[in-house]
């Protein structure tokens, strides 16, 4: 077991995030309730909790027995950003405890679990949002041509905290406690949004000027949907929690923000969904096989489901109901495919094996002609 986790990186938390997204997005769907859907969502949430506990234990073994590899991950610009996934996995499972997990474990246990996971997830998310960009600037040696959407991961973690934090507001005493938590969530929304706006142009510029991403990294284009859908979800959650936490003018302003911000951002999310989808189709035609990056098809799209559901609540437009349902179908299909391939690769050992060394390019051969010219 100890040897098996040597190459277990922080990117595995994406599987927890994607599984939790299926549960929380399903519970957030607007419109008439599908019989049995909530029970299925509760079961999927329970699975995400079990996955989180198993992965936390495995990563603890990794850090205890393979610290050299763990340090190498931190110093690798392609791996270090995935430390943001730890925070998002904690927050996703914690938020799911209050939205759907309470059906199985009870309200008190769900609240206690969410408090613990929200606190831990927020702390690790804020730490990752500072530490990973610092390492990228000071220790990593990166160039603009190496920019990928993976760089967004540590910056999105505080946005996830901002989106799930309002669920705890009604459970706090009225007055300062509620207002402080809600304002703190708005602050995390702002810091994550501004940091994303700084990083996203690098990703888009690299895509336009340097061409498509490598085949295995192409699914990571869906990661851009994460801050878009999660920020739309967050402003909707602010508007929901504001009436019991903030004075009337501020609460009304957050209700307006939920629409004025969410509608254009969701429009851009749909544009990016089409662009990313076209790149994935191209990569698949060129032979793109399964990799753990396929989990990028789950959680980011799940945030768009909850974002569309928030817009449905605050605009009353049926088009967002349909959008949420359609996107949820994509999430479920993507999760099923990624889960099957991950389980297969895990049991075969292929996904836990050491990375294969890059093939060595053949040395150039020079040929001298009879005239003495070299070609």
Tens of pLDDT, residues 319-330: 999 999 999 999
Asked whether 182 and 166 are in contact (CB, 8 A), the reply is: yes
Asked whether 298 and 335 are in contact (CB, 8 A), the reply is: yes
Contact residues for 263 (Cβ-Cβ < 8 A; gap 6+):
311, 315
Percent of the chain residues past pLDDT 90, beyond the cut: 79
CB burial readout 175-189, b (16+ within 10 A) else e: eeebbebbeebbebb
Mean pLDDT of 129-158: 92
Is the pLDDT at 262 greater than 50, yes or no? Answer: yes
Query: Please, what is the average pLDDT of the chain?
Result: 91
- C-alpha closest to that of 262 among 272, 254, 251: 254
| 190-229 pLDDT per residue, tens | 999 999 999 999 999 999 999 999 999 999 999 999 999 9
> Cα-Cα-Cα-Cα dihedral of 315, 24, 336, 46, to 10°?
-170
Is the pLDDT at 369 greater than 50, yes or no? Answer: no
- pLDDT in the model for residue 246: 87
Residue showing tokens 């999660």: 230
35: three-class secondary structure by DSSP: coil
- Joined together, the tokens standing for residue 291 give 């990799």
| 59-111 pLDDT per residue, tens | 999 888 888 888 888 888 889 999 999 999 999 999 999 999 999 999 999 99
- Joined together, the tokens standing for residue 59 give 């990563």
Is the pLDDT at 289 greater than 50, yes or no? Answer: yes
- pLDDT in the model for residue 141: 82
Is the pLDDT at 161 greater than 60, yes or no? Answer: yes
Is the pLDDT at 350 greater than 90, yes or no? Answer: no
Asked whether 27 and 99 are in contact (CB, 8 A), the reply is: yes
Long-range CB contacts (< 8 A, 24+ apart) of 94-98? Answer: 94/118, 94/121, 94/164, 95/20, 95/24, 95/163, 95/164, 95/167, 96/20, 96/23, 96/24, 96/27, 96/45, 96/48, 97/45, 97/49, 98/167, 98/168
- pLDDT in the model for residue 370: 42
Confidence of residue 374 (pLDDT cuts 50, 70, 90): very low
- C-alpha closest to that of 28 among 182, 229, 272: 229
Cβ-based neighbour number of residue 117 at 10 Å: 22
- pLDDT in the model for residue 145: 84
Length of the chain: 375
- pLDDT in the model for residue 234: 97
pTM: 0.92
Q: Round to whole Å and give the CA distance between 285 and 305.
A: 28
Q: What is the DSSP string of 40-86?
A: HHHHHHHHHHHHHHHHHHHHHHHHHH-HHHHHHHHT-TTTGGGGHHH
Determine the straight-line distance between the first and last CA of the chain, rounded to whole angstroms. 54
Q: Round to whole Å and give the CA distance between 214 and 364.
A: 24
Residue showing tokens 């399903």: 26
Is the pLDDT at 375 greater than 50, yes or no? Answer: no
- pLDDT in the model for residue 367: 44
Asked whether 265 and 189 are in contact (CB, 8 A), the reply is: no
More confident residue, 168 or 247: 168
Q: Round to whole Å and give the CA distance between 129 and 90.
A: 15
Q: Round to whole Å and give the CA distance between 305 and 89.
A: 18
- pLDDT in the model for residue 25: 96
Out of 2-6, 206-210, 370-374, give the one with best mean pLDDT: 206-210
Long-range CB contacts (< 8 A, 24+ apart) of 239-246? Answer: 239/314, 240/166, 240/313, 241/166, 241/169, 241/170, 241/178, 241/182, 242/182, 244/169, 244/170, 244/174, 244/178, 245/169, 245/174, 245/178, 245/179, 245/181, 245/182, 246/179, 246/182, 246/183
Distance of CA 319 to the CA centre of its chain: 25
DSSP 374: B
- pLDDT in the model for residue 177: 95
Confidence of residue 279 (pLDDT cuts 50, 70, 90): very high
Mean pLDDT of 157-183: 96
Pick the range with the lowest mean pLDDT from 156-165, 166-175, 240-249: 240-249
Q: Round to whole Å and give the CA distance between 189 and 212.
A: 30
């Amino acid at each position: 077991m100890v040897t098996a986790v040597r190459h277990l990186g922080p990117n595995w938390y994406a599987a927890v995030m994607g599984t939790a997204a299926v549960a929380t997005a399903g519970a957030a769907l607007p419109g008439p309730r599908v019989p049995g859907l909530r029970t299925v969502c509760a079961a999927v949430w329970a699975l995400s909790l079990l996955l989180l506990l198993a992965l936390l234990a495995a990563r603890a073994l990794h850090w205890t027995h393979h610290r050299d590899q763990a340090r190498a991950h931190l110093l690798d610009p392609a791996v270090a950003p995935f430390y943001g996934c730890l925070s998002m996995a904690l927050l996703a499972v914690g938020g799911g405890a209050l939205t759907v997990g309470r059906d199985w474990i009870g309200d008190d246990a769900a609240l206690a679990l969410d408090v613990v996971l929200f606190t831990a997830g927020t702390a690790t998310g804020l730490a990752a949002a500072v530490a990973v960009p610092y390492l990228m600037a000071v220790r990593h040696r990166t160039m603009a041509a190496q920019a990928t959407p993976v760089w967004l991961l540590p910056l999105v973690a505080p946005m996830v905290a901002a989106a799930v934090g309002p669920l705890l507001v009604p459970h706090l005493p009225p007055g300062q406690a509620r207002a402080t938590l809600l304002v703190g969530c708005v602050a995390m929304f702002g810091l994550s949004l501004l940091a994303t706006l700084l990083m996203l142009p690098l990703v888009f510029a690299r895509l336009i000027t340097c061409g498509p991403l490598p085949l295995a990294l192409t699914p990571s284009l869906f990661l851009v949907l994460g801050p878009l859908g999660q920020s739309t979800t967050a402003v909707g959650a602010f508007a929901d929690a504001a009436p019991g936490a903030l004075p009337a003018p501020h609460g009304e302003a957050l209700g307006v923000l939920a629409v004025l911000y969410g509608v254009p951002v969701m429009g851009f999310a749909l544009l990016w969904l089409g662009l990313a989808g076209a790149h994935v189709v191209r990569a698949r035609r060129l032979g793109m096989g399964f990799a753990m990056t396929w989990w990028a098809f789950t959680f980011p799209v799940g945030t768009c489901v909850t974002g569309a559901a928030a817009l449905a609540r605050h605009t009353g437009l049926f088009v967002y109901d349909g959008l949420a349902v359609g996107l949820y179908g994509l999430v479920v299909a993507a999760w099923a495919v990624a889960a099957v391939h991950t389980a297969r690769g895990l049991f075969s050992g292929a996904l836990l094996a050491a990375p294969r060394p890059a093939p060595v390019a053949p040395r150039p051969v020079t040929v001298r002609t009879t005239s003495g010219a070299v070609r």
